[in-house]
Chains A and B, each alone.
Chain A
Amino acid sequence: MTEAPRTFPDPLDRPAGELEQLRRAWRRPRGWHAITEVNNNFIGLLYLGTAMLFFLLAGVLALMMRTQLAVPDNDLIGHSLYNQLFTMHGTVMMFLFAVPAVEAIAVLLLPNMLGARDLPFPRLSAYAYWAYAVGGIVFFCSIFAGLAPDGGWFMYPPLSSSAYSPAVNADFWLLGIGFIEISAIAGAIELALGILRTRAPGMSLDKMPVFAWVMLVFSGMVIIAFPAVIVGTALLELERAFGLPFFIADKGGDPLLWQHLFWFFGHPEVYIIFLPGAGMVSMIVPAMAGRPLIGYRLIVLAVVATGFLSFGLWVHHMFATGIPQLSISFFSAASMAVSVPTGIQIFAWIATIAAAARLRPLKTPALFILGFFFIFVLGGLTGVMVALAPFDLQAHDTYFVVAHLHYVLFGGMVFPLFAAFYYWTPFISRRALSERLGRWAFWLMFAGFNIGFFPMHFTGLAGMPRRVYTYPEVYGWGLLNMVSTVGAYLIAAGVLVFLFDLARNFRPTNTGNAGNIWNAGTLEWLETGTYGPRSIPAISSREPLWDQPGLADDVEAGRHYLPNAPTGRRSTLVTSALQARPQYVLDLPGPGWAPVLAAVGTAGFFLLLTVKMTMLAAACGVLAIAMIWRWLWDSDPGPSAPVDIGGGLRAPVHSSGSASHSWWAAIMLLMVNGSILGSLVFTYLFLWTTSPDAWPAAGALPGTALPLAAGALLLASSAWVAWMGRGRRKERRPRLHAGLPPALAMLLASAGLEAYGQWEFGLRPQDSAYAAAVYALIGLQCVLAIVVCWMAVFTLARSLAGKLAPQRRASLDTMALFWHYTAAQGLAILALIHGFPRLPG
């Protein structure tokens, strides 16, 4: 800031024409061009709609399964279709509904809750959405061709290996899910950055809505956990396509490696889905009760603790694999510990309800919340049961666990989601949803859920395993299954009532929504336009609409920050991460084709690769890269004169270096890379623990000359780049133009040298699990070197085009960050490959 901040609201009248300018900047493209819109309100709603489409589709799959299981020895659906049904039901619910749905709600609501006009990278959220939508729909359609994956949503090898699943079905899962994960990571980085850097001035971390806290933890968990499953799918695809034996026991691989990688992702995934649900409850309960949340700090602590603990539980999915008793005890204890933070949240909600000023008569959102309580508490209690290893040995992989997981996920996420639909519809629609239909939807879903899933506890204990397409009459599971099927259809009836309600009352809009009908206290209930709030409020409370009288009127009259579009384009305010002090105005991109086309290209690349249409896939890949180039080319427009942001304040329209949002995003992307490296290092070490015989003795390794040379090249290139980037003041274009190509050559040569050395030594990736792990590490280094190469070319091109300057150097800074990271990673990999087997003992 260039001047001392004035107090807000600023009593002066706003200049005429300012509002029109704001409207013009945020105007929606019309007609066919509507799909080029990147604004969070538009993308968020599309995102949510698509996620709900997948909820319905996966629900239909569930009804088909329940119909098949209604009676014993049923031959309505054969094993082949049934196995695809349950694989797709789980996969679609987890990857195409649950995670996207909560990301969608966050994209839609968070900027409004935080008082921002949009997320910091609108084109990234548009890209993440379109990649998910196109890829997800094509992936789902594989079931109509009988090509859907049929190895279970957990895809355990060897069943999913080429020996036992030779057809393309499994590849659809591996490539399809791999890139939907990439889309989820993109969304997570976007959300984390939005939460950390675009909060309303004054909204320090301790005044942040719980939902924002939850989504921050969510993003961190996605960034750490999802790379593990991306690595897992990549390794399995390498095994299927090229024979690298990571999971083949005969060659030193281990099927359990997959289970570790999968559940290291898979268990946090459960909390990735549940925490946002809990976050929504923490928003809705105080609003319906008319009282602030009791125990806000405890809840925030609980959410953060859940995030950490969730990474220490994954082995509880593997109690029956015969792992040592000691690790069973540890993971058993950790699994129980995670119920403490959940208990804190439950009792905080009960306390808030007890202190309520106006909860009764119960409205539909409150009904869904109470339903959530009933179901989720029961699911949590059965969760404690299965955390106890001896009990789990009976319950594991039976219908007891089917009941447990649906109680936790349907209770913990779907019921809060429906509460959220009824609660936030007035924010995004001209009319609220119907109370009467809402009650019908709730009671049908609530009764249906319990009728459907409660008996499954008994079905499982009476011996029925999961994932069976039929069962003989002699076991006597018929009645329980029939009841479950009736319950499933009741849930479906409830969802149909909800859809009918949507059709009758849901009229999406950004201008003229139904408004704050609940008299809630958070910022999304300010009057909004396509641009979000008219001005960005200065905040001094957690529920500003309750505690700051007249705030809504002042905001609407433009008496707070940024009541205008000072650059003539879309913009929002960037604030500091902890205290939310205004820092600079972020110029936001408007509608454009690049994100949509890049997404279509990415989805096309992965899906066409699956069906081995290599040329077309390559064409799609080129399209994706060209479009990403196109969109990055316009970013970082460079500094312009500070602009008026209201209240007589002027703020810069630009930032560079470690204060800028792009630098933070690069750091988060490097955390993703770090997690990928961690998973591969784990792979290497884990395979060593299971088959140390496959590892070469110290004498049987390639000599140290080549790896030392490769390491020296890494250090040299990194130092060179640091030297070139030195000096922020002066322009040093010639040095950059002459220096980048040789530095790049060194980086690439280093990766090449290591690969060459291993190959010349006679090591082939198909030889053994050891060889496969070594080449996987080298491959990762090559991939990053190529990414850096692309960044360097981009930076050079910008420099040649005059788009790089001392104050306009985001591409250079990002490239340098990646460069140093890649060099450090290369050194770590060399040390592991050449040092570890040489360790004495």
Chain B
Amino acid sequence: MPYLNSLLILASGAFSLPSDLQSALHPKGEHAGHIAEISWLLFIGAAFIFVLVLALLVLALYGPARWRALLGRRALVVGGGLVFPIVVLSALLWYGLGKAAVLMRAETPAAVHIEVIGELWWWRVRYLDADGRPSFETANEIRIPAGVPVELWLKSDNVIHSFWAPNLAGKLDMIPGRVNRLRVQAAAPGIFRGQCAEYCGAQHAKMMLHVQALSPDDFDAWQALQRLPAREPADARLQAGKRRFMRACARCHAVRGSEARGSAGPDLTHAGSRPSLGANVLPNNVGTLAGWIAGNQHIKPGNLMPSFGELSSEDLRAISLYVASLE
């Protein structure tokens, strides 16, 4: 009964409540926290004004004659339409611009600089060293130290994308020919998600991002591991996988420390350590890797990687094992 089963799964999905994985209302960072505070003020204020206007409308329709005579005058138009909004909006603008200035302020220099580049349809992520040179490259995941300001340099050399991890901060576009800088600071360690927010073509829907805030120590350890070149195959099976990888995949993918230097697709030096595949479309393990390599055009149609359906199941397994071993 696979059909019934999938129906049940669909039904359970249709009745779930929003999670806080990618939510503007569950701030986990400084920037998002300020915006959430503004948001609640706006929601409450708007609800109040909405009720007020509708109450006036109901009074105008059904109120006692004395009330209606009071409302049915030009003074209501001047008071409600001119004076009231000018007062409320001026106050709101003053508050909003003040908040915006707070958001823009950067007292301490960012401790970590990360270049995030929008690709079709995935994220290229480069960690920069103190001199602004790339020290290692990863894909579709950003790990940052919690409690420390981090600056993201947002770029694209294809179409316009928009970087959005709502728990951390508002979105900022990635525009060819420009570099936009976004400062984020996670309050505490945690895992959340990001997603491309500017329509960018066929697989805009599946351009997702894993965002993880680590304690500074964990972050340093992670960074140290990522800086290392790829680990050498430990046994003959993995060696065979590596050979096949070099034949089939190296034109587009790089594995630091090997002869694979392609740059069209994600750098796979530490692919095994990443939580997901295909920009957060699948969890990352040997089985999903094989499925992705052989059938990614079915999973994420139109993406720039061809499906390698012609690989023998033996080759496929070997390559998947090799990539999964690159932790």
Interface residues, chain A, with chain B CB atoms under 8 Å away: 70-74, 78-80, 83, 151-152, 156, 158-159, 164, 249-250, 253-256, 291, 294-295, 298, 302, 320-322, 325, 328-329, 332-333, 336-337, 339-340, 343-348, 350-356, 359-360, 370, 373-374, 377-378, 381-382, 384-385, 388-398, 458-459, 461-463, 465-482, 690
- Top 4 nearest A-B pairs by Cβ distance? A393-B170, A249-B177, A355-B72, A463-B22
- Knowing A351-B76, A468-B204, A477-B18, the reply to whether A343 touches B85 (Cβ < 8 A) is yes
- Knowing A320-B162, A322-B172, the reply to whether A397 touches B198 (Cβ < 8 A) is yes
Judged by a CB distance under 8 angstroms, whether B239 is at the interface is no
A340, B72: Cβ atoms under 8 Å?
A: no
A336, B92: Cβ atoms under 8 Å?
A: yes
- Knowing A347-B80, A461-B24, the reply to whether A360 touches B61 (Cβ < 8 A) is yes
A385, B176: Cβ atoms under 8 Å?
A: no
A353, B13: Cβ atoms under 8 Å?
A: no
B205, A470: Cβ atoms under 8 Å?
A: yes
Contacts of A337 in B (CB 8 A): 89
Closest to A247 in B: B176
Contacts of B175 in A (CB 8 A): 249, 255-256, 321-322
CB distance from B17 to the nearest CB of A (A): 5
Closest to A258 in B: B160
From A332, A474, A475, A479, residue with most partner B Cβ within 10 Å = A475
Q: A354-B72, A394-B39, A394-B166 are in contact. List 9 more A-B contacts (CB 8 A).
A: A73-B10, A254-B177, A302-B81, A332-B96, A344-B77, A348-B81, A374-B54, A463-B23, A478-B14
B97, A332: Cβ atoms under 8 Å?
A: yes
Judged by a CB distance under 8 angstroms, whether B148 is at the interface is no
- Knowing A321-B175, A378-B50, the reply to whether A388 touches B42 (Cβ < 8 A) is yes
Cα–Cα distance between A345 and B77 once the two chains are bound (Å): 8
B81, A344: Cβ atoms under 8 Å?
A: yes
A382, B46: Cβ atoms under 8 Å?
A: yes
Cα–Cα distance between A395 and B9 once the two chains are bound (Å): 30
B72, A294: Cβ atoms under 8 Å?
A: yes
Q: Which segment, of B99-107, B123-131, B261-269, faces chain A?
A: B99-107
Contact of A350 among B46, B71, B176 (CB under 8 A): B71
Contacts of A397 in B (CB 8 A): 162, 164, 171, 197-199
Contacts of B81 in A (CB 8 A): 295, 298, 302, 340, 343-348
Judged by a CB distance under 8 angstroms, whether B28 is at the interface is no
Closest to A344 in B: B81
Q: How large is the interface on B (under 10, 10 to 19, 20 to 34, 35 or more residues)?
A: 35 or more
Task: List 25 contacting pairs A-B, 8 Å CB cutoff, sorted by A.
Answer: A72-B13, A73-B13, A80-B301, A156-B199, A158-B159, A249-B176, A298-B74, A321-B173, A322-B175, A343-B81, A343-B82, A344-B82, A347-B80, A347-B81, A351-B72, A353-B57, A354-B59, A378-B50, A381-B50, A384-B89, A385-B42, A396-B171, A461-B25, A467-B199, A468-B204
CB distance from B100 to the nearest CB of A (A): 5
Cα–Cα distance between A348 and B60 once the two chains are bound (Å): 11
Contact of B92 among A164, A249, A374, A388 (CB under 8 A): A388
Closest to A294 in B: B74
Cα–Cα distance between A73 and B13 once the two chains are bound (Å): 9
Judged by a CB distance under 8 angstroms, whether B34 is at the interface is yes
Judged by a CB distance under 8 angstroms, whether B84 is at the interface is yes
A332, B86: Cβ atoms under 8 Å?
A: no
A71, B10: Cβ atoms under 8 Å?
A: yes
Cα–Cα distance between A74 and B53 once the two chains are bound (Å): 41
Closest to B7 in A: A71
A354, B60: Cβ atoms under 8 Å?
A: yes
Contact of A478 among B15, B24, B82, B204 (CB under 8 A): B15
CB distance from A552 to the nearest CB of B (A): 28
B61, A476: Cβ atoms under 8 Å?
A: no
Judged by a CB distance under 8 angstroms, whether B180 is at the interface is yes
Contacts of A332 in B (CB 8 A): 93, 96-97
Closest to A378 in B: B50
Judged by a CB distance under 8 angstroms, whether B1 is at the interface is no
- Knowing A79-B301, A298-B77, A354-B68, the reply to whether A465 touches B60 (Cβ < 8 A) is no
Contacts of A477 in B (CB 8 A): 18
B14, A482: Cβ atoms under 8 Å?
A: yes
A159, B19: Cβ atoms under 8 Å?
A: no
A-B contact count (CB 8 A): 296
A482, B50: Cβ atoms under 8 Å?
A: no
Contacts of B54 in A (CB 8 A): 373-374, 377
Contacts of B53 in A (CB 8 A): 346, 350, 373, 377
Question: Which residues of chain B from 21 to 60 have a CB within 8 Å of any chain A CB?
Answer: 21-25, 32, 34-35, 38-39, 42-43, 46, 49-50, 53-54, 56-57, 59-60
Cα–Cα distance between A467 and B199 once the two chains are bound (Å): 6
Question: Which residues of chain B from 211 to 265 have a CB within 8 Å of any chain A CB?
Answer: none
Contacts of B190 in A (CB 8 A): none
- Knowing A351-B72, A462-B25, the reply to whether A390 touches B100 (Cβ < 8 A) is yes
Judged by a CB distance under 8 angstroms, whether B193 is at the interface is yes
Judged by a CB distance under 8 angstroms, whether B16 is at the interface is yes
Cα–Cα distance between A481 and B15 once the two chains are bound (Å): 9
- Knowing A250-B177, A295-B74, A390-B38, the reply to whether A478 touches B13 (Cβ < 8 A) is yes
CB distance from A776 to the nearest CB of B (A): 19
Interface of B is mostly: helix
Judged by a CB distance under 8 angstroms, whether B78 is at the interface is yes
- Knowing A394-B170, A463-B21, A476-B18, the reply to whether A79 touches B202 (Cβ < 8 A) is yes
CB distance from A610 to the nearest CB of B (A): 21
Cα–Cα distance between A347 and B73 once the two chains are bound (Å): 10
A475, B19: Cβ atoms under 8 Å?
A: yes
Contacts of B38 in A (CB 8 A): 388, 390-391
- Knowing A325-B100, A354-B72, A462-B22, the reply to whether A320 touches B170 (Cβ < 8 A) is yes
Contacts of B198 in A (CB 8 A): 156, 320, 397
Contacts of B77 in A (CB 8 A): 294-295, 298, 344, 347-348, 351
Interface mask (B63-77 → A, CB under 8 Å = 1, otherwise 0): 100011111111011
Judged by a CB distance under 8 angstroms, whether B320 is at the interface is no
- Knowing A158-B159, A332-B96, A384-B92, the reply to whether A339 touches B202 (Cβ < 8 A) is no
Contacts of B17 in A (CB 8 A): 476, 479
Contact of B86 among A322, A340, A360, A482 (CB under 8 A): A340
Interface mask (B177-219 → A, CB under 8 Å = 1, otherwise 0): 1101000000000000101111111111110100000000000
- Knowing A79-B301, A159-B200, A320-B173, the reply to whether A462 touches B14 (Cβ < 8 A) is no
B160, A156: Cβ atoms under 8 Å?
A: yes
Contacts of A480 in B (CB 8 A): 18
Judged by a CB distance under 8 angstroms, whether B313 is at the interface is no
Judged by a CB distance under 8 angstroms, whether B302 is at the interface is yes
Cα–Cα distance between A731 and B85 once the two chains are bound (Å): 62
B21, A159: Cβ atoms under 8 Å?
A: no
Contacts of B205 in A (CB 8 A): 79, 467-471
Contact of A467 among B56, B80, B85, B204 (CB under 8 A): B204
Cα–Cα distance between A476 and B14 once the two chains are bound (Å): 8
Contacts of A462 in B (CB 8 A): 18-19, 22-25
B302, A350: Cβ atoms under 8 Å?
A: no
Closest to A468 in B: B205
CB distance from A702 to the nearest CB of B (A): 28
A74, B197: Cβ atoms under 8 Å?
A: no
Closest to B167 in A: A463
Contact of A465 among B43, B49, B170, B195 (CB under 8 A): B195
Cα–Cα distance between A471 and B196 once the two chains are bound (Å): 13
Contact of A390 among B11, B49, B93, B103 (CB under 8 A): B103
Contacts of B73 in A (CB 8 A): 294, 351, 355
A350, B76: Cβ atoms under 8 Å?
A: yes
B100, A343: Cβ atoms under 8 Å?
A: no
Contacts of B200 in A (CB 8 A): 159
Closest to B71 in A: A354
Closest to B6 in A: A73
Contacts of A83 in B (CB 8 A): 201-202
Contacts of A468 in B (CB 8 A): 204-205
Cα–Cα distance between A110 and B303 once the two chains are bound (Å): 53
Closest to B19 in A: A476
